[in-house]
Amino acid sequence: METITWNDFEKVELRVGTILEAADFPEARKPAYKLKVDFGELGIKQSSAQITKHYTKEELPGRQILGVVNFPKKQIANFMSEFLVTGLADENGDIVLATVDKPVPNGSKLI
């Protein structure tokens, strides 16, 4: 494992946002949803997430998640991703979202 400095860690903008919408993303190579997420003062951003094994698109709105908001935009198929959805792989490699266990203001930074 590579060691990083505190300054390296401070560069990563891990922020909390609330999912507003989740939609199918049939153009993606692997099953995924398109997400619209409210990051408070940072605005509403969109991304895709390969989370279809553990979540239905109907249960996602209202859920707070952690996202990296200072990566450059990335094109995925015909869609522009504006942040990285974070999660952890389960024993089968399927992604479980990184979330908070109590509500916090949208845009709050992980410290």
* Domain edges within the chain: 13-97
Q: Across residues 85-100, what is the average pLDDT?
A: 98
pLDDT digits (tens, 9 = 90+) for 47-67: 999 999 999 999 999 999 999
For the 13-97 domain, the top CATH level (class) is mainly beta
pTM for the model stands at 0.94
Phi, psi of 99 (to 5 degrees): -135, 180
Burial environment of residue 64 by CB neighbours within 10 A (0 to 12, 13 to 18, 19 or more): buried
The phi and psi torsions of 42 (rounded to 5 degrees) equal -85, -10
